[in-house]
A and B are shown apart, each in its own frame.
Chain A
């Protein structure tokens, strides 16, 4: 039973996916279609009857006779606080549009909590990647994509503890000195713009990145015989970024360095 609607869910389904089947949307940040959620952002919390704390709907699986409330005042207050905590610590002005919409939906104010911000200088060590951890919400998506959920390169992990936790290479070595193979699968899953292709980063900092003028065309990568699907983001007849559809069963949103950056030969 979700919000008073009887739901016949498959065994093993998460609360969030069961809710989706009856048209109830639950906000998330650390969830992505092609990854198992780290269960870290706590934006997707819901009330489950008989459980004192709120429950992360992205990870908790449904049980028989479960009674779930997804949008009570308590749930909404908690979600608002999660958003306000994030806004108190990191820059969210490059975040994906869904996150911005959640702030409106939950009437979250970015100045509700004030305190120390996460301050980190931009890390640009090569011609492909820009990393700005002052925008990082530690959703773990990049770590999981680099790690055992997709790429298995393990160039980055969470280091440190608590508020000092950061996504980091070993001993914070420069990216070209790490295990990184520049597949950019971390960039692809970053929801806040903490990780961007350098092309996008430069345009954003120069204020020439105009999402509204961009058209996305689907095509297939020109290199090896795997046939990864590409989404070419084109602004003013120039490719400005390449991604891969996370729902295409060949690549599931992932690419290699050639697929994600090799297009630059056209420039």
Chain B
């Protein structure tokens, strides 16, 4: 945000917040140890509002749970902004000093009365007003979110809507306030920082940045394209169009994890060559022409990962990889050698020091410092730099140094996969505490609390369909149908059902999901699928 690809805050800051908005995140299950910090904040007196269509295990710790309609986040955020402005709680001094685009933004939310937002969100206007008041009256607000915000066709706009709230109230750049996107995977932040996204070079600089490109070209002795590449969703489109013919997948299981899984599997099967490098023979690996068995990066090889608070930490080899499995680095070096490039012997620290030369934000992070200090948060410009617990403190400097932080007027657009008489239920997916993503690793340890392929539903809806816990049902979307097991739970409003995506073997949920994606981020609409639920499951699937 504001040109920097990372959350603004350290985990510990939430312990000192006055108000916590947990928005589209079930951190209790998905980020349990972050939630420990959040609980300390509550113990220290913070109020918490959970904004989530489900009353999740996280929401049970909230002073107030707002179960908004799936995909109505922008409507709520815009109405909150309007109320904050009308209450006189906008931080005018901060806005004048450090932001741009305020007038346009204020005009854009003016139509978002609580009544209009209430229509979109199905929340009472009184609670919308109460939350706006709480935000306006709190000194230190932390806004935390996860995929409940980003996995929509308006994911990027959703994030902007939250950033707007923080800018409006000056809740950024100071300890205890800030914007906290919780990363879903242990190194999704690091991957982006290293340039493993289509428009970035190492250090999160744009490929169009000639200075940075030249620095990398010099380091690597190769010329680099100045145009962005494809993101995942574009790559799958390109596979279908046969514009992309060869794919090397490292540590990812897109055959299970992509939206509209049937479509994704067809694309992977149609490739000229598919190379998969993984710990296990995943569904993707089973489609591959070549499989490289890989070492587990966190226990069988050396390196670094970067967490949600921009902290780079060391991972270390503790045991030898089994059989013919090799460290990712070794595999890549070996392939390079076959291709005629001898890069020497693979050494994680040598590779890291190369990164430090091309990424100024990481320049001060030697392996020794990372070990001694328990990790360092970027930017860390030299070896005397303690790193940055939070970002954007500069926005409070007067006069302002550097660019203004822009407001972004965003408009609400409901989910693309609309509900109708044929598909009357909204299916949303998410994680549970003991499992992870497509279950490649977590299905291989004996969790006593595994839920399996359940479809969570409220009691009223279950009886309207005539089913009860344990019944098998057919769940059909406009893309496909699967069988699942009903589980009646509390905390779901009528019309909403929930499933995890951890058990693609038992319930191939991603076959139901639309691959319509956010044009700005390439993220598919995982959180908002229109489905139909029927008894007598086997017959319907057979059709």
Instruction: Indicate if the CB atoms of A251 and B374 lie closer than 8 Å.
Output: no
Instruction: Indicate if the CB atoms of A223 and B186 lie closer than 8 Å.
Output: yes
Instruction: Indicate if the CB atoms of A239 and B318 lie closer than 8 Å.
Output: yes
B9-45: CB near A (< 8 Å → 1, else 0) gives 0011000000000000000001111101001000100
Q: A232-B299, A256-B33 are in contact. Are A262 and B436 (CB under 8 A)?
A: yes
Instruction: Indicate if the CB atoms of B315 and A220 lie closer than 8 Å.
Output: yes
Which residue from A176, A238, A265 sits with its C-beta under 8 Å from B441? A265
Instruction: Indicate if the CB atoms of B445 and A224 lie closer than 8 Å.
Output: no
Q: Is B3 an interface residue (CB 8 A)?
A: no
Q: Is B345 an interface residue (CB 8 A)?
A: no
Q: A128-B448, A182-B448 are in contact. Are A229 and B434 (CB under 8 A)?
A: no
- Alpha-carbon separation in the docked complex, A264 to B183 (Å): 24
Instruction: Indicate if the CB atoms of B448 and A226 lie closer than 8 Å.
Output: no
Q: Is A151 an interface residue (CB 8 A)?
A: yes
Minimum Cβ distance to chain A for residue B509 (Å) = 19
Q: A182-B449, A224-B183, A226-B308 are in contact. Are A217 and B316 (CB under 8 A)?
A: yes
Instruction: Indicate if the CB atoms of A227 and B313 lie closer than 8 Å.
Output: yes
Q: Is A261 an interface residue (CB 8 A)?
A: yes
Which chain A residue shows the least CB distance to B280?
A265
- Alpha-carbon separation in the docked complex, A224 to B436 (Å): 8
Instruction: Indicate if the CB atoms of A227 and B316 lie closer than 8 Å.
Output: no
- Alpha-carbon separation in the docked complex, A151 to B433 (Å): 13
- Alpha-carbon separation in the docked complex, A261 to B448 (Å): 11
Which residue from A217, A249, A265 sits with its C-beta under 8 Å from B12? A249
Contacts of B448 in A (CB 8 A): 125-128, 175-176, 182
Q: Is A106 an interface residue (CB 8 A)?
A: no
Instruction: Indicate if the CB atoms of A227 and B311 lie closer than 8 Å.
Output: yes
Contacts of B33 in A (CB 8 A): 226, 228, 250-251, 254-256, 259
- Alpha-carbon separation in the docked complex, A251 to B187 (Å): 17
Instruction: Indicate if the CB atoms of B320 and A227 lie closer than 8 Å.
Output: no
Instruction: Indicate if the CB atoms of A224 and B319 lie closer than 8 Å.
Output: no
Instruction: Indicate if the CB atoms of B445 and A262 lie closer than 8 Å.
Output: yes
Q: Which of B426-454 contact A (CB under 8 A)?
A: 433-436, 441-442, 444-449
Minimum Cβ distance to chain B for residue A235 (Å) = 10
Q: Is A2 an interface residue (CB 8 A)?
A: no
Instruction: Indicate if the CB atoms of A220 and B298 lie closer than 8 Å.
Output: yes
Contacts of B463 in A (CB 8 A): none
Contacts of B306 in A (CB 8 A): 227
Instruction: Indicate if the CB atoms of A222 and B186 lie closer than 8 Å.
Output: yes
Q: Is B317 an interface residue (CB 8 A)?
A: yes
Minimum Cβ distance to chain B for residue A130 (Å) = 13
Minimum Cβ distance to chain A for residue B439 (Å) = 10
B250-277: CB near A (< 8 Å → 1, else 0) gives 0000000000000000000000000000
B37-55: CB near A (< 8 Å → 1, else 0) gives 0010001000000000000
Q: Is A266 an interface residue (CB 8 A)?
A: yes
Minimum Cβ distance to chain A for residue B13 (Å) = 12
Q: Is B314 an interface residue (CB 8 A)?
A: yes
Instruction: Indicate if the CB atoms of A261 and B30 lie closer than 8 Å.
Output: no
Contacts of A232 in B (CB 8 A): 299, 318-319
Instruction: Indicate if the CB atoms of B314 and A219 lie closer than 8 Å.
Output: yes
Which chain A residue shows the least CB distance to B10?
A249
Q: Is A64 an interface residue (CB 8 A)?
A: no
Which chain A residue shows the least CB distance to B42?
A152
Instruction: Indicate if the CB atoms of A224 and B314 lie closer than 8 Å.
Output: no
Minimum Cβ distance to chain A for residue B35 (Å) = 8
Minimum Cβ distance to chain B for residue A249 (Å) = 6
Q: Is B305 an interface residue (CB 8 A)?
A: yes
Minimum Cβ distance to chain B for residue A263 (Å) = 7
Minimum Cβ distance to chain B for residue A237 (Å) = 5
Contacts of A252 in B (CB 8 A): 36
Minimum Cβ distance to chain B for residue A95 (Å) = 26
Q: Is B307 an interface residue (CB 8 A)?
A: yes
Q: Is A234 an interface residue (CB 8 A)?
A: yes
Q: Is A82 an interface residue (CB 8 A)?
A: no
Q: Is B375 an interface residue (CB 8 A)?
A: yes
Which chain A residue shows the least CB distance to B182?
A225
Instruction: Indicate if the CB atoms of B307 and A226 lie closer than 8 Å.
Output: yes
Instruction: Indicate if the CB atoms of A219 and B315 lie closer than 8 Å.
Output: yes
Interface of B is mostly: loop
Instruction: Indicate if the CB atoms of B31 and A221 lie closer than 8 Å.
Output: no
Minimum Cβ distance to chain A for residue B8 (Å) = 15
Q: Is B416 an interface residue (CB 8 A)?
A: no
- Alpha-carbon separation in the docked complex, A127 to B317 (Å): 26
Instruction: Indicate if the CB atoms of A224 and B30 lie closer than 8 Å.
Output: yes
Minimum Cβ distance to chain B for residue A83 (Å) = 33
Which chain A residue shows the least CB distance to B186?
A222
Minimum Cβ distance to chain B for residue A13 (Å) = 20
Contacts of B307 in A (CB 8 A): 220, 225-227, 250
Minimum Cβ distance to chain B for residue A261 (Å) = 6
Q: Is A203 an interface residue (CB 8 A)?
A: no
Which residue from B317, B320, B441 sits with its C-beta under 8 Å from A222? B441
Which residue from A218, A226, A237, A261 sits with its C-beta under 8 Å from B447? A261
Contacts of A263 in B (CB 8 A): 299, 445
Q: Is A248 an interface residue (CB 8 A)?
A: yes
- Alpha-carbon separation in the docked complex, A36 to B306 (Å): 31
- Alpha-carbon separation in the docked complex, A183 to B29 (Å): 11
Question: Which residue among B186, B375, B448 has the maximum number of chain A CB atoms within 10 Å of its CB?
Answer: B448
Minimum Cβ distance to chain B for residue A258 (Å) = 6
- Alpha-carbon separation in the docked complex, A259 to B436 (Å): 11
Instruction: Indicate if the CB atoms of B446 and A229 lie closer than 8 Å.
Output: no
Minimum Cβ distance to chain A for residue B280 (Å) = 8
- Alpha-carbon separation in the docked complex, A232 to B307 (Å): 19
Which chain B residue shows the least CB distance to A175?
B448
Contacts of A255 in B (CB 8 A): 33
Which chain B residue shows the least CB distance to A233?
B318
Q: Is A1 an interface residue (CB 8 A)?
A: no
Which chain A residue shows the least CB distance to B374?
A248
Q: A175-B448, A181-B449, A182-B434 are in contact. Are A222 and B297 (CB under 8 A)?
A: yes
Question: Which residue among A223, A224, A250 has the maximum number of chain B CB atoms within 10 Å of its CB?
Answer: A224
Which residue from B183, B279, B433 sits with its C-beta under 8 Å from A256? B433
Question: Which residue among A152, A180, A183, A259 has the maximum number of chain B CB atoms within 10 Å of its CB?
Answer: A152
Q: Is B230 an interface residue (CB 8 A)?
A: no
Question: Which residue among A126, A225, A254 has the maximum number of chain B CB atoms within 10 Å of its CB?
Answer: A225
Contacts of A151 in B (CB 8 A): 36
- Alpha-carbon separation in the docked complex, A78 to B81 (Å): 64
Q: Is B189 an interface residue (CB 8 A)?
A: yes
Contacts of B314 in A (CB 8 A): 218-220
Q: Is B188 an interface residue (CB 8 A)?
A: yes
Between A and B, 5 residue pairs with Cβ closer than 8 Å are A220-B314, A225-B189, A255-B33, A263-B445, A266-B296
Given contacts A220-B313, A249-B12, A249-B374, 13 further A-B contacts (CB under 8 A): A217-B299, A219-B315, A224-B183, A225-B307, A226-B182, A227-B311, A232-B299, A237-B320, A239-B299, A257-B449, A258-B434, A262-B445, A265-B444
Of all A-B residue pairs in the complex, the 9 with the closest CB atoms, nearest first, are A225-B183, A227-B307, A265-B444, A127-B446, A126-B448, A217-B318, A256-B32, A264-B445, A222-B298
**Interface, chain A (partner B; CB < 8 A):** 125-128, 148, 150-152, 175-176, 180-183, 215, 217-230, 232, 234, 237-239, 248-252, 254-259, 261-266
